[in-house]
Structure 1
Amino acid sequence: MTAKLLIAAGGGGDAITTAMVHAALHGEDAPALVLTYAWERLVVDPVPGPRRRTDFTGTEHVGDQVHLVTPRSAPVPPAGSLLPRLAADLRPALGLIDPYEGAVGLARQIVRAAEYCGADHVDIVDVGGDVAADGCEPTLRSPLGDALVVAACRRTGLPAAVHIAGPGLDSEVPEAVLLPRLEGPEFSLTAAHTRSVGDVFAWHPSEASALLVAAARGLRGVCGTRDAPDPVVLGPASAHVYRLPLSRALEINRLARALDGTTDLAQAEEASRSVCGFSEVARERERAGRQRATPGQARGGHSAPQDAATLYRRFVQWERHTAATGIQYATTRRFAEELGLSQEALPVLRRHLENSAPARSVPPLWQLRPEGRSARQEA
């Protein structure tokens, strides 16, 4: 086949952003393969760390290195993954990359994928910009996946470029820190580039990609995400995509340089501890252990009544408190987690908000209305 080859560097929602960047670079109908980790964090996958290719059934094997995810693929329990559903909703094909053989094994997988696609270069895509972290940033949380991709692409010898979409939107490296490391924007995403991913956020929890979509559609303001020290401000740079040559990304990213030559994930974790002072995989293991100790809280097991009126009154109380802190917009994931909504309760509340309080819905975000009509009037 002949197709563009892209890599969603961070896993999780980066595949969504990569589909948008592909649409901007090549056109949404151009054949493409997006390589991505099955590393979707505990909100989706209760098993800490990334999944191996062997953790899925129903993938299509292209040789021994390239495994394509299809809508018929499924994670092997107890693991969880939204990649099969993304494969149904995104236009580019999705291929799994497996970090358990370190940068050396990852490079082999990328080379085989390039051969399969007939591609002579690789586009690496990261939403937020931790691919351009130097490892010292105090808010850095998940640098390993991005750094492994950069290290592996260097080993392939293939021409590669890094595209950073929405600097700072993942709440890891602030925009003000990132922009001096980047040159002028390569292009800006527009509402047209979001067309092919617009329905994904009705079910996918990615916050950084949701913020990028909102910015591309022209939304500006202070946005609240979950588990972040500060809110994200959507501003003039939030819809921009910046291009870094692979060599420049390696200059900035000390962890990527330290990962060169690694042959398993344990070595990669040790490199992360050395450069960044932590292993995000170890942090996930610790968090998973705490969640197993409190399973009702961990998986959204709130025991309150789940009728629409009651859920809406709880939402309004949360909204007034949150808006009082200066937040104008919120992600679905933030209010779902802070209200402790179960998987059954969340769609009930969403439908109620969309039907009875449509002014709040600015897909894929929600506008907070602290001085709006009372819960009794709108319920």
Structure 2
Amino acid sequence: MLTNLDLTELTEFRRELHRHPELSGEEVETASKITAALRSMLPTRILTGLGGHGVAAVFDSGKAGPTVLFRAELDALPIEERNNIAWSSQTPGKSHVCGHDGHMTMLLGLGRMMSRQPVAQGRVILMFQPAEEDGSGAKAVVADPAYQEIQADWAFAIHIEPGRPFGYVSTCEGLINCASLGLKIRLAGKTAHAADPEDGVSPAQAIAKLIPSLDALGQGGPLDDDFRLVTITHVKIGEPSFGVAPGEGEVFATLRTTRDEGMESLETKARKQAITLAEEFGLSVDFEVCDNFAASINDPDAYAVATMAMKAIGIAYGDAGVPMRASEDFGVFGWDAKAAMLCLGPGEDYAALHNPDYDFPDDLIPIGCAIFERIARELLGTASDGTVRQNELEPFRAVS
């Protein structure tokens, strides 16, 4: 159980993280702060540099049993914060407006409880992964050779999700977050004087045809195996000039499916549409894939463990608002483990994620910690003779 002092210190730490956000792949100082905080909890081992700047703390019982991983994210967003709070971002153009500062803090709270009352068997892994926001972090972590030493049998994560009552958890078996992929399509021809457009090769007509053809590939609908959605997010043709007929253009499209297998087919069709139109209008075409997220699928057994844990400690839960079209790279941990994502509500009218006025509600910290701890106890039990008294732990303080 966390004490009032724990919650005060955890809140201070969360706000310190909030003041100093770092973008995907840049989480050097955030990882350093997390590592320093973890050392005070006396884990069996701390791994750093996982998949970039990832950090993992291992709490090993020393007895045979499963490995249970709990994940949080290190990175922030390239969004200018607009909050009148004492701990608002001190880094222009960057902010923790997706709750990752709170997710990290929940894991740190779990770490303190694991230190005081070790599990009876197996291992608990606190995984602080980098680069969730661009979909690259979880893949980089599991591909890191060091991860093989701590590979999980079970994996769990909590993500705050506005629109739910405070303290309510949305979750379900099967699909929880869609797969998505950002496809940049660049079409190149030849510029010309606007008075003589026939001397050039413009991508304008090709792009005019490409947009509706991409839209037609996926228009949403029920989140079943046939779900496909293509969203045009950015279009550019030439430069803002009245004197030049454009010679190049680009289209950004986000593709979504409910299964990773469906994404390959959808991407192939989107590329084929662009190639066909490029040939028709005498253009060259190239592609770039960005923000590539695997689908997150909740394993039935992991879902059962999570709901059993929540029921045991009186947490309200259900399937309100799930599955979701939005993406989350946690699904990668489920490729080799029984995994489940839980969506924790901050209040039905709370500010939306990725909005400049969002801030993680600190009152959710003990709720998230309690859910994680109960899951760990359900799977690994509690050592009968391994309690560490609170005064044996080093002080837990925010590192500025």
TM-score by length of 1: 0.21
Higher relative contact order (CA 8 A, sep 6+): 2
Greater share of helix residues, 1 or 2? 1
Greater share of strand residues, 1 or 2? 2
Query: Which has more radius of gyration?
Result: 2
